[in-house]
Amino acid sequence: MDRISLGNEEFEGRNNAYVLADEDRDELALIDTGIATDAVRADLRDGLAERGYEFADIDDVVLTHFHVDHAGLAGEIQRESDATVYVHEADAPLVEQDPDAVAAVEERRLELLEQWGVPDAARDELLSFLEAGQSVEGMPAETTTIEDGTVLEVGGRTLETLHAPGHAAGLCCFEVSGASEAFVGDAVLPVYTPNVGGADVRVDRPLAKYAETLRTIVERDYDRVWPGHRDPIEEPSERALTILEHHRERTENVLDVLEEHGPADAWTVSARLFGDLEGIHIIHGPGEAYAHLDHLRHEGVLEYDDGEFRLGERSADLETLASPSE
């Protein structure tokens, strides 16, 4: 698969933009675009030029999800090429930078930071980081929405949409027709585990949704997948199972914190799990802690009152807690 590796100084790990080209039919598509910085813009333009293309030649942009390190340059590409920008209906308002949708996310973020017990100083540091990062969001794009099962004919390929929420509400994988392969965005990554809980504050019960996504990837049993960051994953089912096991272990760690500390909010649990946090991790840390705490609460293992979680009377089945409830 033809990929352009893009720099990423603002977030973890190099991003990938995938080039789908059919020279016979003069069709060109990109899957994800990278963040809207000068360095990444140059990476993408240079990568396309090496292949004999420029932004104006792109017919379609397919976005795995709304995060700026995947969608940041979509609006700029569309302005130069009039490309169709495809994204799941849940993420479309954020790619379009709809003021109401953006305001709703900001309001929800503030509510959760308070609910999680994030101290004022850490909250202010996070908000300053996010405000400074607005410059890398890029231009808004006019989107064409897709949903689970949507079939796209782009760049000479047939792609079937697989909705894969958890890390983001609208995250999608795209299965390649005629091959046991898929573009998976941040659904599964080769080096680190995608954040759940803090990466998209709109997702309700993010751990359950993400575990379901991982189990779907296991069941699909792809030969290879193409992630949003770093190198292809040659044994994706095994990698998805490893991430599920990681979350089972983290669930156990969360319970250990409550046994040792007593009732605690998400920030306190996060501090025990991850230590001091800075930048975007100020929301990723307690967000992930909350995803596990909230899942345990829904399973009846924890009780929640006045901002704190405490152990309940029901014991935890750690083999199943990271999977969705039946």
pLDDT tens profile 173-198: 999 998 999 999 999 999 889 999 99
Q: Mind listing the pLDDT tens digit for each residue in 76-120?
A: 999 999 999 999 999 999 999 999 999 999 999 999 999 999 999
Kindly list the domain boundaries of the chain, sorted by start residue. Answer: 3-105+133-234
- Average pLDDT of span 7-14: 65
> Which residues are 310's β-sheet partners?
303
Sign for the pseudo-dihedral over CA of 98, 100, 101, 106: positive
Do the beta carbons of residue 291 and residue 197 sit within 8 Å?
yes
Question: Residue 267 in contact with residue 113, Cβ under 8 Å?
Answer: no
For residue 261, CA distances in Å to 112, 217, 277 come to 22, 36, 20
33 neighbors 70 (Cβ within 8 angstroms): yes
Mean pLDDT, all residues of the chain: 93
Task: Provide the token pair at 47.
Answer: 């990568």
Average the pLDDT over 207-235 and give the result: 96
Structure confidence at residue 257 as a pLDDT band (50, 70, 90): very high
Instruction: Provide mean pLDDT across the span 307-314.
Output: 87
pLDDT in the model for residue 133: 78
Q: Does domain 3-105+133-234 have CATH number 3.60.15.10?
A: yes
